[in-house]
Amino acid sequence: MKQQHIKFEEKRVPLFTETTHEELSKYHSDFKVPVLKDGDFVVWDSLSILEYLSEKYLDSAGWPREVKARAVARSISAEMHASFTNMRNELPMNCRKKFQNIRLSPKAEQEVERIKELWQSCRTQFGKDGEWLFGEYSIADAMFAPIALRFEGYGIPLSGVEEAYVQSVLKQPCIIEWIEAGKTEKETIEADELIT
């Protein structure tokens, strides 16, 4: 929403606290975040939220305009949404710390390589005219931003296209603001702080 200059008010709900369940119960999201409340309408699930925002506020411009690029963007966004569980579990989201010498399981390594392949393929086929996966910023880039942050924070070796892509994500003003906001939070998820 910040990337596309859609005005909104953010409500932060600390996770894994005594009040989390109560605060999220009114949104019918199965106690998951994020949740978007637009007037009386509530939608949850990252990909559904992005689709809704694209259709309501961006004249569906959240996806690439070209048919094949749009189909691939949807495919990789759905794959991002439903896959890479080993990598996510072994590299939990933590923007406040940098980790070194992380050893991934073979399955997580395969998932990292798959992500790199997706980025290279999209940039080669569809992204030659810009710095994003499909040239112009799209829902696919929003979906992969957390992965780019993980790759940076855990020192995942990158080169060429994938390194340039992560740098594009990291220099976005809204990402810089997101990281800085995360650093001011007092709550921690202990398991995500102790990875070595």
| pLDDT above 80 (res 187) | no
| pLDDT above 60 (res 172) | yes
pLDDT, position 190: 64
- Strand-pair partners of 36: 43
Domains present along the chain, CATH in parentheses: 1-62 (no CATH), 67-178 (1.20.1050.10)
- Strand-pair partners of 3: none
**pLDDT tens for each residue of 62-73:** 999 999 999 999
Task: State the pLDDT confidence band at 194, using cuts at 50, 70 and 90.
Answer: low
| pLDDT above 60 (res 196) | no
> Which whole number is the average pLDDT over 167-183?
93
- Strand-pair partners of 132: 135
pLDDT, position 13: 81
> Which whole number is the average pLDDT over 23-51?
89
**pLDDT tens for each residue of 71-84:** 999 999 999 999 99
| Dmax (CA) of the chain | 48
Q: What is the mean pLDDT of the chain?
A: 91
Report CA torsion sign: 123, 124, 127, 128: positive
pLDDT, position 33: 80
**Contact yes or no for 141/169 (Cβ under 8 A):** yes
